[in-house]
Structure formats: structure tokens, C-alpha cells
Amino acid sequence: MRQLVFVIVALALFSQCNPKQEIAQWRGPNRDGIYLEKNLLTQWPDSGPKLLWRFDELGQGYASAAVTSNRAYTVGTIDSISYVFAFDTDGKLLWKKNIGRDWMVNWPGVRSTPNIYHGLGYILNGLGVLYCFNADNGDIVWQKDIFKEFNGRNTDFGYSENLLIDGDKLFCTPGGIENNVVALNRKTGETIWTSKGNSDSTAYCTPILIGRGGKKFFVNQTDKSIISLDAENGNLAWKYELKTTSHPSTPVFRNGYLFAIDGGKSGSLMLKLSEDGMSVSEVWRNADLNSHFGHVVVLGDYIYGLCGNKTFGKVDWNTGKQLVADSTKSRALAVISDGELIYGYDLIGDFKLIKPVDNGFEVKGKFKVEGGTKMHFSHPVIKNGVLYIRHDNSLFAYDIAKK
């Protein structure tokens, strides 16, 4: 009996430590920008954290990094062809694999971040071609043109969805009239279900999976609305019309409430879901909370993001009331957090470590992300005491661990 217990415990530990069981995806474990790491610096040196390594041959693109315990993955476009890059944690390029022609009309390059899931990687390019690759060596396992196969409708700036996976289901939003959202078998690419959704064209948003009433629901923002689908069969649970279009930000769900950014003069809104998850009602709107391109982070009962005249702000989750405006003028667009401090990265490359305090914010360090000629759109990642930042042609790794 003791031997049996030992074997079970050993297998459980092996599965937790085995890189093939790891998941690395857009904006962290819960897709909310929160990286719950310990023993990180709470104050940076005057020059910023130490640069461990950088790689300067990625090509164009806006994908973030997907980082496991021993690999960092990203995607770049060189002479109209995109490649998946894999590095070890010391910055050594392990392999670079061609995944074909990509979006070159405007703002050329891949928008989406790889999703690494139990030994396989997944990426959607700007033209609507979805690739599944072996995370060990980059070999293509299968590929599917969701734009053509599902009669999709692309955006003005190319498909930008960061793929969502649950078990053996991979969800994506081609934006077609009949095949608005589809679920594929992540191992084979075969179609599990297709859904009309509300037949709205796709946007630049990234979906989330939520639990409500004992069910799982796929939630995404399309061009003109928020939709929720039963993740098991694709049936439309509810839709909520928005006032603007082309939404790029990921919703945030907690305790039966869904926060979403509408954009423009409409700002943000909070929806309350029914107990069974089949309907919603609006709780509040805040026209000034408008992190349209950069998302927010939620810590405790507070939402942190861009407010008003492009200044960083603190908003009450329950009421939508803005409590604090940032006197430091941190125009942070891409924001993540370690659960206590906020890491703010803006369009011109300024990066700040921000500490929320009762009546404002304290800047606990700052530096400039150099290189490249494009705006700084990619979202940072924290893994094992290292801060990863993708910008234009480069991937940077900074040491933010306490010694």
C-alpha cells in the first residue's frame, strides 16, 4: 500500500514538474495580467533592472512572449514570412521555424502570442491561418485556414486573437456569419462545433473562459458586442450590444461580474451575470476609464488602468467611481502585476514599477526599453524572477528577482 501511495505521489510530482505539462499563454495563467510570483524586487536601481540578455533578429510583429520553466517563445515576421522562435532561459536561440506568409497590409507582422499547452504550441496569424506546432522542436503538427474554411471576416488590421484552450477544445473567432466562433480539437484540428454567435464580425479582442451555474462559457468581444457561448456546444447564452467598434481588450471576470472596455467616449462598463450565466444586466459605466489598447489589472476591489487624459487611475470595482488619478503621469498602456506592484509599459517605451498607495501611486523604478522603430504594443511577461519584453525586432529579458 505504501508503495502504491509513493508511486501516485511521484507521478503527481512528475506531472507538475514535467515541461510537457506546462501552460503558457496571453497575459498569464488566468489571462488577466496577474503573475503571482514571490521574491521580486520592490525597488529598481536608478538605471532599471539588470538586462540579462536580448535577441535582435525577430523581425516585425507585436506578439508577446510565452514563457515556460525552461523556454521562451515568440513570433516574428521577416520579409513577409513569420517564424516561431524558441529560446532557453539564458537567451540561446534553440530553433526558428517557418510558419508561412503573414499580414503585411498595415502594421505588418503577427499580432497573437503563442499558446503553449501540454507540449504543443498554437498561433493564429494575421491572415487567419492557425498553426499547431511541437513545442520541443517547432515542427508543424497541423494547420487550418479558419478564414477560408469558416468564411471568416477579417479586421482592417488582421486577426489578433490570442487563442483560448480548455482541455482538448481550442476556441477561435473567425467572425463568419454562420461560423462566428468555432471549437476545434486541439490535437488534430478537427471541428468539434461551430456557432453563429450573433453573426458579428471579429474584433481585436482575446476571449476568456468563465464558470457560472455549473457550466463553462466562452466570452469574447466582437466588433459591436460582447457575447457568451456555452463552451460545450457553442449555443449563444447572451449578447450585449456595445456603443463603439473594433474592441481590442480582454474582459475580466470575477465573482459573477464581468468588466469590459467599450472604448472611445463610452469608456468601460460592468455587467452582472445571472446565477445560471444565461443573462446579464449593466451595473455601471465609467466614460473616463478607457485602457483601449492596453488593458487593466484588478487587485482586490480596485481596477487600475488609463483614465481621463491618459493618466493612470484607480477605480472602484463595485461602483465604477474613480478614486485616484496618477500625479506621476504614468501613461501605462500595457499593465501587468505581481499581485502587489504594477508594471506599466507605454507606447513610447517608458517602463515603470508602480506601487499603489492610499492617495495615489509611487514610482519604485523606471527605465526605457530601447531599440526598434515601432510603437510599444506588446505586453510584458514575468516568469521565475525575469521580466520579458518584446519590442519590434527584439526580445529582452531583465532580472527582477531579489538576491
Domain that holds residue 341: 20-399
Residue at 5 is within a domain:
no
d(CA 385, CA 383): 6
Average per-residue pLDDT for the chain: 91
DSSP structure string for 211-227:
EETTEEEEEEE-SSEEE
Number of domains in the chain: 1
Q: Detail the DSSP E strand segments found in 17-107.
A: 23-24, 50-55, 66-67, 72-78, 81-87, 93-101
Nearest to 344 by CA among 33, 37, 28, 67: 33
For 59, other C-beta atoms within 10 Å of its C-beta total 20
Direct distance between the N- and C-terminal alpha carbons of the chain, in angstroms, rounded to an integer = 43
Residues of the chain with pLDDT > 90: what percent? 74
Is the predicted pLDDT of residue 211 greater than 50, yes or no?
A: yes
3-state secondary structure (DSSP) of residue 67: strand
Residue at 4 is within a domain:
no
For 283, other C-beta atoms within 10 Å of its C-beta total 15
Residue 7: the pLDDT is 42
Any residues with CB less than 8 A from the CB of 32 and at least 6 apart, and which? 250, 252, 297, 298
pLDDT digits (tens, 9 = 90+) for 117-156: 999 999 999 999 999 999 999 999 999 999 999 999 988 8
Residue at 63 is within a domain:
yes
Q: How would you class 328 by CB atoms within 10 Å of its CB: exposed for 0-12, middle for 13-18, buried for 19 or more? A: middle
Residue at 134 is within a domain:
yes
Residue at 341 is within a domain:
yes
Residue at 343 is within a domain:
yes
Give the pLDDT band of residue 106 (cuts 50, 70, 90).
confident
Residue at 7 is within a domain:
no
Report which of residues 292 and 340 the model is more confident about.
Answer: 340
Is the predicted pLDDT of residue 320 greater than 50, yes or no?
A: yes
Residue 21: the pLDDT is 80
Is the predicted pLDDT of residue 403 greater than 90, yes or no?
A: no
Instruction: Enter the pTM of the model.
Output: 0.93
Nearest to 363 by CA among 329, 313, 338: 329
Average pLDDT for residues 267-273, to the nearest whole number?
96
Residue 13: the pLDDT is 43
CATH of the domain at 58: 2.130.10.10
Residue at 152 is within a domain:
yes
pLDDT digits (tens, 9 = 90+) for 4-59: 444 444 444 444 445 568 999 999 999 999 999 999 999 999 999 999 999 999 99
Could you give phi then psi for residue 398, rounded to 5 degrees?
-115, 140
